[in-house]
Amino acid sequence: MECKGSWKLSSNNIKYTKNILDCNLRAINGDYISNKIHFYPEYEYSNIDGKLEWNNCKNNVELNNTSHEHIKRRYKEITIKECLNNLTNEYDDWFEVEEKYINNIQEKCISISLFKKNVDNTYDNEYLVDDNKWLNKYYNSLINNLKNFNLKNICINLYLANDLRNYISELIKFPFLNIFLMKSNSVGAQPGMLWRFMDITNKSYKKVFICDIDDNWNWIKIWNNKNYNCKLCTLKPKDTIISNNPYTPAYNFTTIMGGHTMVNPNKFNYNIVNVIKGFISLCKNREKSKNPYCFNDNDKITFWNQPVFDHKFGWGRIITKYGFDEFFLKHVIYYDVYHDFKFI
């Protein structure tokens, strides 16, 4: 199997591994740029200044354009109804809470999660976790954020992996912290990173702030004081190339940042957990399809959904790996909220 197109006229060091192409392409200045791509035999490829592209691979997207028209050219809408139509009980254990430790109830909450798994796992314990890195990057960062927390009328909900129950005795000492011990562990990055979304539709709260435990939380105070009243607000995103070395024609446009988002739960009219579980089932079923990179066999493969590295179905599409939480947000939640939505 060979990659078709005019790119061969200005290339060297061509190597095929099944449908993976490695080559060097000559740029306009005469330099050769290393390229690596999962290619499709039905497309013809060209050399665009040292980079492999195929016809309309950007789907007429203007890079970094945050308008709705350009967002929907990047990522297809999956409706709430479609997710619920795919709901099964297969992933119930992933989102079941085994024990609750309630210290504090307020009208607003911060929703976070803590787990200890390699974020690239596709099955349990596929890769090792660096214990020191986890302790310093995640757990110690969480403790530091908790020690510095001083916001009034806001509690924190922590969704904790079952295999980390031994940390409860230390964490429960923070009087504003509620702990929800999950029945399951995370597999990889998921479902752990998805747990923090469980409060999106929790009508016990007027506002929910979703954040990363290893980031500074100062933004929460600022956004809370601004009193934004839209259904969802998040940081303004931009298109990023997933890899430049070697160049890989794959972009990510975060759309909704999973660790920097505020929602108004009373503006949602469904159970977010059921929607997530249905979306997981839908994505898992698409892996068996003729075109597993898309939600329909006839959808076009673009820079935003094509395979990259070990994300063999496209960036963030594997249900246990890093990126799937925001994959859910961009395909489902964005389309549910965009009429009442703000980039900050």
How far apart, in whole angstroms, are the C-alpha atoms of residue 249 and residue 47? 12
Mean pLDDT over 157-167 rounds to 98
Q: Which domains does the chain have, with CATH numbers?
A: 4-54 (2.30.60.10), 68-343 (3.90.550)
What does the angle CA 93 – CA 215 – CA 246 come to, to the nearest 5 degrees?
85
Size (the chain), residues: 344
Query: Which position has the token pair 């796992």?
Result: 121
324-338 confidence digits (pLDDT tens)? 999 999 999 999 999
The span from the CA of 311 to the CA of 302, in Å, is 15
Tell me what pLDDT residue 178 has: 98
What confidence tens digit (pLDDT) does each residue in 5-14 have?
999 999 999 9
pLDDT-based confidence at residue 227 (cuts at 50, 70, 90)? confident
Q: Give the chain's mean pLDDT.
A: 97
- What tokens appear for 134 in the block? 């986890």
Task: End-to-end CA distance of the chain: give it in Å, rounded.
Answer: 47
Distance of CA 180 to the CA centre of its chain: 22
Query: In this structure, what token pair is assigned to residue 265?
Result: 């739960």
d(CA 265, CA 198): 11
Residue-wise pLDDT for 95-154, tens only, equals 999 999 999 999 999 999 999 999 999 999 999 999 999 999 999 999 999 999 999 999
pLDDT of 245 over the 90 cut:
no
Nearest to 183 by CA among 84, 273, 285: 273
Edge-to-edge, what's the strand order for the sheet holding 108-114?
97-101, 177-182, 154-160, 108-114, 207-211, 260-263, 232-234, 341-343
Nearest to 195 by CA among 259, 131, 125: 259
Q: Please report, as a single letter, which amino acid is at residue 22.
A: D
pLDDT of residue 93: 98
DSSP, res 136: I
Band (244; pLDDT cuts 50, 70, 90): confident
Among 240, 265, 264, 238, which Cα is nearest to 251's? Answer: 240
The CA distance from 11 to 281, in Å, is 42
Mean pLDDT for the stretch of residues 157-171: 98
